[in-house]
Structure 1
Amino acid sequence: MAPELPLLSNDDIYLLTGLAQGDAMVFRLIYQAYERRIYNIAFYYTDSEEDAEDIVQDVFTSLWLRREKIELKGSLENYITRCAKYTAFFYLKMRQKKKQATEHAAIPQALDGPEEHVRYKDMQAYLHHLLESLSHKTREIFYLSRYCGLTYADIASRMEISVKTVEYHVSLALRKIASQKI
């Protein structure tokens, strides 16, 4: 017996076909139809306007990038709603991880003796050397984030760039640091 295909409305079939073909007008129609719903879902879960706006962009970016591979098991509305919820949950998980990392790294432990003090200074010098190997922009954004404690939104506003650009540069710096063997 063949698997049952989901029953899609004619509107969903039209939108999915147009989306898969890369039709910008169809994508705009989907955006206009679901942008507010995604925002409301994201805001409900994250209680953050900034995160809700980012989630809207993430959901639609993902929708566009995956447009040729989407296989629905229900309506397009249900699919987009699930995407919004999963993305909001991901943001909450990342927020929690960031909070935990900040709590653990906030205050360096007291240095007991001269050996620990020398190791600490060596580690600082090594980190400084790693940061110097980054591009000026990446280094500046990382410094503002980690050493000045500015939020991504504050950095984006100060440097007149998008929050996504800030996220990219901080991620780039962290990957560089993480890839080094200490």
Structure 2
Amino acid sequence: MIFLETYSEKKLLKSLVKGKECAFKTLFNHYHKRIFGLARYMGMSVDDAECIVQEVFISIWEGRKKILVNKPFAPYIFTITKRIILKKIKRGTLETNYINNLRNQSPAFQHNTEEYIIFKDLLSHANSCIDNLSTSQKQVFMLSKNEGLSNKEIAKELNISIRTVENQLYRATKEIKQAINEQK
């Protein structure tokens, strides 16, 4: 593994911010095994750990213009990794709890397949509603709900006021609720 010195890391990050794929590949080669190992250490299967590595680097590439080149990169990439792992754990826990609740219901009320399909359909519809939000609403909503950031943290990360975050979050939630209610 190539050791990235502070100077060369800054240079590499500047190239990444400019969209240079060779800088991205260098960072990938330097960090992918460590991210994979962290995911495995956190209990992820091999397949899930590989998916997490991909998600982390997709996130890095998509958000490359926000990277602060004067700050150390390792804490940044591992924070992204931690958030993605926690999101995956939460999603898995939610699905497991839902399935367990279905199993614990009395036999007269069990419609496992039908209810699971309804659950998946509702989840898919909710994700579709989120995708239909404006870019700013979607960004604020995802940082709040998926990443678990506070309004203050979101405001700082996006360089907007807390009031703007609150308004965007309110409007996004209202639109999602309205779209889900219209489906019923």
TM bin, normalised by shorter chain, reads 0.5 to 0.7
| TM-score, with length taken from structure 1 | 0.56
SS of match in other structure, 1:62: helix
- Computed over aligned residues only, the root mean square deviation of the Cα atoms, in angstroms, reads 3.4
Amino acid at match of 2:39: A
- The structure carrying a bigger helix percent of its residues is 2
8 Å contact from structure 2 (residues 52, 85) kept in 1:
yes
8 Å contact from structure 1 (residues 59, 87) kept in 2:
yes
Give the share of equivalent positions with the same residue, in percent.
Answer: 23
Residues 51-74 of structure 1 deviation map (CA, whole Å, 9 limit, x = unaligned): 111110010000000000122674
| TM-score, with length taken from structure 2 | 0.56
8 Å contact from structure 2 (residues 14, 69) kept in 1:
no
How many aligned positions are there? 125
Specify the alignment match of 2:100 in structure 1.
103
Report the Cα offset of residue 173 of structure 1: 5.6
Report the Cα offset of residue 46 of structure 1: 2.4
**Runs of 4+ more than 3 Å apart:** 106-112, 169-176
Specify the alignment match of 1:161 in structure 2.
none
Amino acid at match of 1:172: S
Specify the alignment match of 1:25 in structure 2.
22
Instruction: Choose 1 or 2 for highest CA Rg.
Output: 1
Please state if 1:89 is matched with 2:91: no
Please state if 1:172 is matched with 2:169: no
Runs (5+) with no aligned partner, structure 1? 1-7, 113-119, 128-145, 148-166
1:1-182 equivalence runs, <5 A: 9-71=6-68, 74-106=71-103, 109-111=106-108, 146=116, 172=124, 175=127, 179=180, 181-182=183-184
Q: How far apart in 2 are the matches of 1:170 and 1:43?
A: 30
Q: How far apart in 1 are the matches of 2:127 and 2:81?
A: 27
Runs (5+) with no aligned partner, structure 2? 129-178
